[in-house]
Amino acid sequence: MREKVLLVLTAALLPALALPVYGPRAMALGGAYVALADDEACVYYNPAGMAAAGDYFACVPSFAIATDDRITEDFNAYIALKDDIWHADTTEGLQPLLDAIDRTADLLEGLAGDPPGVTGYLSYGAGVMLGPLAVSWIGGGTGQVVMEPDADTGRLIPDFYLESYEAVALLYLAGYLDSEQLAVLWPTYPDPAGFVGDAAGDGLGITENQTGARLENDARQEFVVTYADYLWRSGKDDRFFVSAGLNIKYVVTQSYSNRFTAQDSGMYTTGPGWIINQVLATRPVLGHAVSADLGLLGQFTPHFRLGLLARDVIPAPISWDEPVAGVSDRLEPHWRIGVAGEAVPGLLTVAVDLDLTRDEGAFSPQQDLAFGVRADFFEGALWGGAGVRFNLADENQSPLYTLGVGMHLAGVRLDLAVGFGRIDTSGDADTYFSAAGAVGFSI
């Protein structure tokens, strides 16, 4: 009986993530791994690969992603322009105030078209293989903090100006208050006798501006038992085979969504740093489900493999601890197929994966088409790979490119991978960069 453990530490940076890529070796090939599935990532990509994974096996390695997508720069610019509004010199007229309001409204209107935000992904795991069985703990989630601008000029006016009917009349005639807002402040306009002025909660004045940030996160943890074995094998060293793998998993999902405005304590001085602290302190709503993954892997020639994965094949309902708006109430099946072949036997492997199921994704619809090439040297002691991933469901998303290298010597493994390109998150495409590394050993 073999017992193997892989300890993994990884980190990465990118503005958004369509679908997670677990494991540096899989990531290096753009995620084209259903037909290869020859290391610990097979638990995620194709549990049937565990039957032929070789000396190394563990659950999906840890993978952490986070970045700042302009939110610091833009939020601070908004705060600075608000200060200009508050300190506008109106001793000789309102024009300096109106100019400051215009600059702030222009910034916020621009941000509404392409909201800045912090987006990221986190995953982690641990596991052990005991012969044909594996026990794993896998976790991961996607989150975002998006700025929500409020460019209404009626909520960019310092409140004390709304206490004067002369100022309100000038602001209305200049187009900074609309007729509905005027009716709140001055129901009898233009008769001064009926002037009411600003009041707390009337939705007017800069202290009631709703510019802020929305925090959203969806995550899941899986407690997995995997069984894999050959259905058929033949030839020297089992070079021809069909294997099958099954994951039975208890799934814990979590979700939260909160909104904070610029009026909340601390946001004026700490900006997005304060927002991130709120993310970490937020209590999520939990859900529970039981599901399964099925995998098939076949090698019918010495140099060609075909793989099929059915993830969450049981469309199980998610039992949430309390109602959650805007999230799924069941696990949906996801199908993926892959082929891999040795273009140069013993040296160069080419792999292709295709999602057969369209996924709504965290930020945009997602359906992967992934290509990867891996070169193995000295019987796999050293390897290098490259890949590209296309999103067939989002024509605005550019291809994502990946590179990776690794070594497997004297019972120790070291794998590294990076990804780069452009990815569409909240409007215009943003720069994508990620990096992952894994260090492992077997016992």
Position of tokens 């602001």?
Answer: 171
What pLDDT shows up at residue 333? 94
Euclidean distance between CA atoms 218 and 329, whole angstroms: 13
H helix runs in 114-178, sequence order:
165-173
The domain spans of the chain are 3-70+116-150+211-441, 71-113+153-208
What is the enclosing helix (H) or strand (E) of 177?
Answer: none
Q: Cα separations (Å) of 107 from 116, 204, 270?
A: 12, 19, 20
| pLDDT for residue 60 | 39
For residue 120, report the phi and psi dihedrals to the nearest 5 degrees: -170, 175
DSSP 12: B
Tokens of 60: 């999906």
- Whole-Å CA distances, 127 to 79, 124, 253, 289: 47, 11, 20, 20
pLDDT of residue 195: 96
Q: Distance between CA 276 and CA 307 in Å, rounded?
A: 40
The reported pLDDT for the residue numbered 159 is 95
DSSP states of 363-421: SS-B-EEEEEEEEEETTTTEEEEEEEEEETT-TTSPPEEEEEEEEEETTEEEEEEEEEE
The CATH number of domain 3-70+116-150+211-441 is 3.30.1370.100: no
Q: What is the pLDDT of residue 73?
A: 74
Token pair in block for residue 48: 């049937």
Q: E strands along 131-211, which residues?
A: 133-148
| Rounded-to-5 percentages of helix, strand, coil across the chain | 20, 45, 35
SS3 category, 311:
strand
This prediction's pTM: 0.73
Start-to-end CA distance of the chain, whole Å, equals: 12
Q: Is the dihedral of CA 106, 112, 113, 114 positive or negative?
A: positive
pLDDT along the chain (443 residues), means of 10: 39 36 81 87 85 53 46 81 93 93 96 75 70 80 80 96 95 96 96 94 93 82 92 85 95 86 60 61 88 95 93 92 85 95 94 92 77 94 94 82 89 81 51 67 61
Closest of 385, 415, 414 to residue 402, by C-alpha = 385
Q: pLDDT, tens digit, for every residue of 364-405?
A: 678 999 999 999 999 889 999 999 999 898 777 778 888 999
Going by DSSP bridges, is the β-strand pair 319-320/304-311 parallel, antiparallel, or unpaired?
Answer: unpaired
Instruction: Give the pLDDT confidence score for residue 100 in this predicted structure.
Output: 96
Cβ atoms of 327 and 349 within 8 Å: the answer is no
Burial status of residue 347 (CB atoms within 10 A of its CB: 0-12, 13-18, 19 or more): exposed
**What span, in angstroms and rounded, lies between the C-alpha atoms of 409 and 127?**
21
